[in-house]
Structure 1
Amino acid sequence: MLVTLLTALAVMLVLEGLFPLAFPSHWRKMFERLTRLADGQVRFMGLMSMLTGLILLFVVL
């Protein structure tokens, strides 16, 4: 179980690092725009991300 969790975390970190590695200026602009969003918008994006991940887990498992 722990190995699977750490593997998933490692894959997530690799995927998260691809965009800033390949396109640093675009990533910086996107990050600046994200900091200007309201808290409710950020929470909604987090909720949608979590729901998408849960749905993907149910489909895969």
Structure 2
Amino acid sequence: MSDLLTALALVFVIEGCILALFPGAPAALYRQLSELRPETLRVVGLVAVVLGVFCVWLLRA
């Protein structure tokens, strides 16, 4: 459980750094994402999940 909380805390750190260093970037990214079809977003999300699980598997092996 502590690994999950650590990972969540690191997400907050990374998101905070992005917002602090490049405050306009997330808004521009959200505008671009809103123009994509839901199917495309779903595929990108699934690829991100598979890549994330693979990276965790590599790190834990």
Q: What SS class does the counterpart of residue 16 from structure 2 fall into? A: helix
Question: For residues 44-55 of structure 1, what are the structure 2 equivalents within 5 Å?
Answer: 44-55=43-54
Flag as ranges the 4+ runs of structure 1 deviating above 3 A.
Answer: none
Partner of 2:35: 36
Paired residues, number: 60
Matched, 1:27 2:26: yes
Q: TM-score, normalising length from structure 1?
A: 0.83
> What is the one-letter code of the residue matched to 1:60?
L
Where in structure 1 are there 5+ consecutive unaligned residues?
none
- Counterpart CA distance in 1 for 2:25 and 2:42 is 23
Q: Distance in 2 between matches of 1:12 and 1:45?
A: 19
CA RMSD of aligned residues (A): 1.2
Identity %: 28
When normalised by structure 2's length, the TM-score is 0.83
Deviations 1:4-55 (A, max 9, x none): 2111111112112322221112221111111111101111111111011011
Which letter maps to 1:41? T
